Chains A and B, each alone.
Chain A
């Protein structure tokens, strides 16, 4: 190989290493957006941690009371909203009574959005669910983990009224609900603080509540130790967790649909990593051989 060609090849690797990030952004845009136009039925492998969530809900007899804490905002909606919708679907199909609350101000609104979507389901609409009897939205209360702790003694002290200002003593669903002793399962959807970690520390460890969770993909790995110790019945991690949950329910929804987009974007990132490493090693080998030649 002549010197000129070598120089040209070297500059090619160097150019590749210092590629304009806008080109990477363009590839990612295409990788994320284009698959959204295709409807491929990909095989979603279900993990035991996701199955734990499904079984925790499925094992409850009709009429059981579940508390759902919406601890996220719209930023995490693509990951957590499909989980919320799937959870409502499973709960309402199994005739469970759902109590909604939020430790994040935007949480109860996210719950309303999920309910709006779930009520479009013909099977659920046919049940003619009534607010205050089949489900209730307690709204948001400031206080983070102190709210969780206080609810262990009395729900009414943390939430004297629901989101619409009705005293909880006047809500049929809330009659007989004093504290966690009257709740069969807590499902927490969390994108950070306060979230699942606080529910484990203040709800599970102190009051021994049964807890399952849905987390963002970034947060989910830190919940695995809690699943192993049995403090969490299961955890849904990111969009994949949502897709697993939808697969278990047999109702493929948005999470399953978006998995193709996520799969392609992951593959493109991996491809970039491979190219980056090839360029790095090629340059390193060349520099090493140049140094050897120079003595």
Chain B
């Protein structure tokens, strides 16, 4: 039963969502299933929080490897949750000037932006080591990347200012984006869509074993 019930539920919900698109009266059922989804999605957030606390508290309690990071996670969680829940005016917690907003603006934002900004350094280092014109395909990729990197910023047009307008590096970058890139993206999107249809059918028909936790 532990395997069959989820499979039957998945099949019913999946088929209803597809069929309701073609048979409008079934929208009532679709709406009902969507309500369920909203409730599950909201609870999933609480479940995620509890899981985060449980795993890190366990790590700290048993002094597993890197347990001090667990302390940082729990303290960080409490540091932002308590001011948000109790000292930031309830529903107005996200307003300017509240303690929660202060922490968001002065702690979370700089930390998050820093993590993302590190990409620039790794991209530069990886480009230096990996972008090699080893063969025709790699050379094409290299040339396209080169044109895009310079053409998407004003410097590209500046160094090709001697060329007639319409033939500068910015125009070349636009052409790459509009034609070869778009054609490639479309092919990838069609491929992904076919893959999604096939996996969705496998899930609905109960052929996808990973869905049953196997």
State the A residues within 8 Å of B (CB): 19, 21, 24-25, 27-29, 32, 42-45, 47, 73-78, 106, 108-109, 112-113, 116, 139, 141-144, 146, 149-150, 153, 157-158, 163-165, 217, 221-222, 224-225, 228, 238, 240, 259-260, 262-270, 272-273, 275-277, 280-281
Contact with A along B69-99 (1 / 0, CB 8 A): 0000000000000000000001110111000
Is B140 part of the binding interface, using a Cβ–Cβ cutoff of 8 Å? no
- A-contact bits for B147-183, CB 8 A (1 contact / 0 none): 0011011110110000000000010001001100110
Residues from chain B with a CB closer than 8 A to the CB of A27 are: 124
**Inter-subunit contact A113/B128 (CB<8 Å):** no
Check B129–A276 contact: CB distance below 8 A.
yes
Q: Can you name 17 A-B pairs with beta carbons within 8 Å?
A: A45-B154, A45-B157, A74-B113, A143-B37, A143-B38, A143-B41, A153-B31, A158-B38, A165-B90, A224-B177, A224-B178, A225-B185, A263-B154, A265-B120, A266-B149, A270-B150, A273-B127
Q: Is the CB of B153 within 8 A of A276?
A: no
Chain B residue nearest in CB terms to A273: B131
In chain A, what residue has the closest Cβ to B171? Answer: A45
Contact of A150 among B34, B113, B131, B186 (CB under 8 A): B34
Residues in chain B near residue A260, CB distance under 8 A: 154
Q: How far is the CA of A53 from the CA of B94 in the complex (A)?
A: 29
Cβ B157 vs Cβ A43 within 8 A: yes
Residue B22 CB within 8 A of the other chain: no
Alpha-carbon separation in the docked complex, A225 to B192 (Å): 14
Q: What is the bound-complex CA distance between A196 and B4, given in angstroms?
A: 36
Taking a contact as CB atoms under 8 Å apart, the answer to whether B105 and A113 are in contact is yes
Query: When the two chains form their complex, are residues A272 and B91 in contact, meaning their CB atoms are under 8 A apart?
Result: no
Contact B182 A164 (CB under 8 A): no
Contacts of A78 in B (CB 8 A): 113, 117
| B123 contacts the other chain (CB 8 A) | yes
Asked if B132 is at the interface (CB within 8 A of a chain A CB), the reply is yes
Binding site for A on B (CB under 8 A): 27, 31, 34, 37-38, 41-42, 44-45, 90-92, 94-96, 101, 104-105, 108-109, 112-113, 115-117, 120-121, 123-125, 127-129, 131-133, 142, 145-146, 149-150, 152-155, 157-158, 170, 174, 177-178, 181-182, 185-186, 188-189
Known: A25-B125, A75-B116, A142-B41. A163 touches B91 (CB 8 A): yes
The answer to whether A116 and B177 touch (CB under 8 A), given A74-B109, A75-B113, is: no
Question: A residues within 8 A CB of B42?
Answer: 142
Contact partners of A113 in chain B: CB under 8 A: 105
Docked-complex contact B149 and A146, CB < 8 angstroms: no
Provide the bound-state CA to CA distance between A146 and B30, in Å. 11
Give Cα A113 to B145, complex, Å: 34
Residue numbers in A under 8 Å from B124 (CB-CB): 24-25, 27-28, 265, 268-269, 272
User: Is there contact, CB below 8 Å, between A224 and B185?
Assistant: yes
A267 with B133, Cβ < 8 A, contacts A24-B128, A146-B34, A163-B94 known? no
Kindly state the separation between the CA atoms of A270 and B62 in the bound complex, as whole angstroms: 49
Which residue of B44, B112, B121, B181 is within 8 Å of A75 (Cβ)?
B112
Which of A45, A73, A157 is most buried by chain B, counting CB atoms within 10 A of its CB? A45
Residues of A within 8 A of B104 (CB): 74, 106, 109
A21 close to B125 (CB less than 8 A): yes
Q: Is the CB of B189 within 8 A of A273?
A: no
Give Cα A224 to B154, complex, Å.
21
User: Which chain B residue lies CB-closest to A164?
Assistant: B91
A264 to B159 Cα, complex, angstroms: 13
Residue in chain B with minimal CB distance to A276: B128
B189 touches A225 (CB 8 A): yes
Is B178 a contact of A164 with CB atoms below 8 Å?
no
Chain A residue numbers with a CB within 8 Å of B145 are 273
Chain A residues whose C-beta falls within 8 Å of the C-beta of B131 in the assembled complex:
273, 276-277
In the bound complex, do residue B182 and residue A225 qualify as a contact, i.e. CB atoms below 8 Å apart?
A: yes
Q: B153–A263 contact, CB under 8 A? A: yes
- Chain B residue with the shortest CB-CB distance to A24: B125
* A259 touching B149 in the complex, CB below 8 Å, given contacts A109-B94, A146-B37: no
In the docked arrangement, what's the CA distance between A149 and B34, Å? 9
